[in-house]
Amino acid sequence: MHLSLKRLSSVNIFSLIGVAVTVSSFHKPIAVSSFLHLPNQQYHHRRNYNKNRTLKNTLKKMTSVEEDTNNNNDVVVETTSRTTTTPTTNNNLQPPPPPFANASESGEIPSFNGSAKAKATDFANYFCSYAQLYHQKQMLADHNRMAAYHAAIMGNSEAFKDKVVMDVGTGSGILAVWAAQAGARKVYAVEYTDMAKHARSVMEANGVSDIVTVIQGAVEDIELPYDTDSLEPEDGNNNDGEKDNRVVDIIISEWMGYFLLRESMLDSLIRARDKFLKPKQGLMLPSHSTMYIAPVTDEEERRMCQREYSSAMGDWTEFVETTRSTYGVNMGVLGPEFEREQKEYYLLSSRWTELHPESVLGEPQILKEVDMHTCTLSEARGITAAGGIGGDDGLFDFDVSPESTGDTLAHAKGGSPTDYPPVSGFAGWFTADFKSRTDPVGATHAPTLRNPAFLSTGPEAGYTHWGQQTFHLPTSIPLLRGEVTRLKGSLEMTRSRENARLYNCRIRYNTSRRKAGEGRDGATLMKGEDVENVYQIP
Ligand SMILES: C[S@@+](CC[C@H](N)C(=O)[O-])C[C@H]1O[C@@H](n2cnc3c(N)ncnc32)[C@H](O)[C@@H]1O
């Protein structure tokens, strides 16, 4: 089935080139820079910021394409920011090969139940970056992040005292050190990559290696030393007659990716929780997380992306002509595919942004809430808008007017009062709470956290390495004096077929305008067409 991209009114870049976005693009191989939730994605976009060329170059080197020559079975070791995976083919005589290059046979992240090939691909694409101190340091230098985790652990030392703690994905080990300092009896610091070796040194250097045991492996695969460390399940819990391995009091982890779900590490947390955490008394930290969306103005960036796209297409036209006139070969046949690539890259990829709070044009709305104590693997897969398991998950409905929001921004930018900033797109981000359990079982049995902590990656919170993901619209939506513009729609977020750690977002919306003071049920001045765009989160 092909769905045409419905356009906003007025001339836009799509109408000039006559491109239609199809549903299949939702599942196209997607461009990847690095899987890390570090502000290094989208090289072109970041060129203007360009605070860190070294990082860029390091990543380029680390992610260059390496064909696995010993295995022509297409282990996909990618990628530069522009490389895509190779589709596999079906063979009737043998069981079908995994449909995804960087996923288990059932489409999950390969650290659980993935074939050796899928695991190797996942390591090359995802884990290998986390094995670099350079990248661990980027996260350690994010003070919003650090302060929230520090407050959550050290500010609740009574909850940690004499407890068994697991740090899922310990990296350089910082959270495990804090857990030990907060009084934990035993801390298991689990890390898949060789960063585990550095974490051991950190434990030694900080005098906590008698409390913290660093275990190198995927949390999905490891076992704990139940007998040696006298690890006991909670009272009266027999786990239906099975040996009960759920002996951990607190799981701490920093697992969140761009727009919360990217990297899909939440799956590992759910598996760790179900395998190791005491079901009634156990605490997950963070305990809850929330995804937000808001309409934003970000015209400079939006227009820059469009200019770069136009420039790339102009360059292509010249290239085709030069190749024809100089070498006698017509490459024009490849134009549509080149155009698709460029469009995906410049126009249909979300952008890492550090938005000014005043760029936010409407009260942010919740897209999805995750309770870490009850969240299921199916919920972790994404956001199914409108009628999905999550009820209202993924729906938004904004009223935006220049008087209530953009006026001050126009003045700040030196514009006239009628020069209101338009809506350039939608931005998404997340918050994380470190608080007591709210699910019925946990609220009754689990210890109360006396000093809840909070982390926001929204524009109001200042810099975090997660920033916000901004989805630019093909054309901006002007805001008119004395009028309210309503933006009603949905955001659906699904894993990329080729790579279970990456996501695509389908944003559908509709605009309508009414006089200020008129209620939502009142007269409408204008109702726009339904618009649908599918973006990659690179
Ligand atoms: C975002 S980093 C956080 C590092 C550290 N906890 C911190 O806060 O600075 C996530 C870490 O989890 C590790 N990791 C991801 N999935 C894992 C898994 N399934 N098992 C073990 N480690 C994992 C990664 O290698 C990475 O070092």
> Measured from the CB, is residue 129 less than 6 Å from ligand 1?
no
Ligand 1 atom 24 nearest Cα: 169
Q: pLDDT value at position 380?
A: 95
Say if residue 230 is exposed, middle or buried (CB neighbours under 10 Å; 0-12, 13-18, 19+).
exposed
265 in Cβ contact with 495 (< 8 Å): no
Are the C-beta atoms of 125 and 79 separated by less than 8 Å?
yes
Q: Is 122 in the pocket of ligand 1 (CB under 6 A)?
A: no
Encoded tokens for 297: 């103005």
Domain ranges (residues) in the chain: 135-254, 351-537
Distance of CA 185 to the CA centre of its chain: 34
- CA quadruple 142, 145, 148, 150: dihedral positive or negative? negative
Query: 3-state DSSP call for residue 208?
Result: coil
Q: What is the pLDDT of residue 402?
A: 87
Residue 406 has what DSSP assignment?
I
Sequence-ordered alpha helix ranges (H) in 155-298: 157-160, 174-181, 195-205, 266-276
Task: Identify the residue whose C-alpha is closest to ligand 1 atom 11.
Answer: 169
Contacts of 338 (CB under 8 A, 6+ apart): 316
Clarify whether 254 is annotated catalytic. Answer: yes
Rounded-to-integer distance, Cα 294 and Cα 448, Å: 33
CA of 503 from ligand 1 middle (Å) equals 19
Taking alpha carbons only, the member of 8, 129, 150, 20 closest to residue 78 is: 129
- Classify burial at 424, counting beta carbons within 10 Å of its beta carbon; exposed 0-12, middle 13-18, buried 19 or more: buried
Enumerate the β-bridge partners of residue 425.
296, 472
Measured distance CA(426)–CA(302) in Å, rounded: 11
Compute the distance between CA of residue 310 and CA of residue 17 in angstroms, rounded to an integer. Answer: 10
**pLDDT score for 118:** 86
Ligand 1 centre and the CA of 89: distance in Å?
33
Q: Is the CB of 142 under 6 A from ligand 1?
A: no
Closest CA to 35 of 59, 55, 53: 59
Any atom of ligand 1 within 6 Å of the Cβ of 190 = yes
pLDDT for the residue numbered 82: 22
Instruction: Pick from 127, 224, 457 the residue to mutate for probing ligand 1's pocket: most ligand atoms within 8 Å of its CB.
Output: 127
Is 232 a known active-site residue?
Answer: no
User: What is the H or E stretch that residue 495 is in?
Assistant: strand 483-495
Candidates 130, 171, 174, 167; CA nearest to 35 is 130
Cβ-contact 470, 298 below 8 angstroms: yes
Structure confidence at residue 403 (pLDDT):
76
Give me the residues of the chain with pLDDT under 50, please.
1-34, 38-99, 387-390
Q: Which atom of ligand 1 is nearest to the CA of 195?
A: 27
The ligand 1 atom at the shortest distance from the C-alpha of residue 139 is: 9
Candidates 104, 138, 140, 168: which one to mutate for ligand 1, based on the most atoms within 8 Å of Cβ?
A: 168
Q: Is the pTM of this model over 0.85?
A: no
Q: Which of 236, 238, 178 is nearest to 208 (CA)?
A: 178
Structure tokens at 238: 């027999």
Atom of ligand 1 nearest to the CA of 253: 6
The predicted structure's pLDDT at residue 37: 54
pLDDT at 243: 80
From ligand 1's centre to the CA of 193, what distance in Å? Answer: 8
130 touches ligand 1 (CB under 6 Å): yes
Which candidate in 78, 108, 220, 263 is catalytic?
A: 263
Q: Report the nearest atom of ligand 1 relative to the CA of 126.
A: 25
Q: What is the enclosing helix (H) or strand (E) of 61?
A: helix 53-62
Identify whether the C-beta of residue 248 lies closer than 8 Å to the C-beta of residue 276: yes
d(C-alpha 506, C-alpha 499), whole Å: 17
CATH number of 351-537: 2.70.160.11
CB 111 less than 6 A from any atom of ligand 1: yes
Give the per-residue pLDDT at 112.
79
Q: Which of 40, 165, 190, 191, when mutated, tests ligand 1's pocket best, judged by the most ligand atoms within 8 Å of its CB?
A: 191
pLDDT at 145: 98
Catalytic residue among 108, 220, 254, 358: 254
Q: Are 282 and 446 in contact (CB under 8 A)?
A: yes
Cis peptide before 290 (omega within 30 of 0): no
- Superfamily classification of domain 135-254: Vaccinia Virus protein VP39 (3.40.50.150)
191: β partners: 216
State residue 204 phi and psi, 5-degree precision.
-60, -50
pLDDT computed for residue 238 by the predictor: 62
Atom in ligand 1 nearest the alpha carbon of residue 109: 19
Nearest CA to ligand 1 atom 27: 171
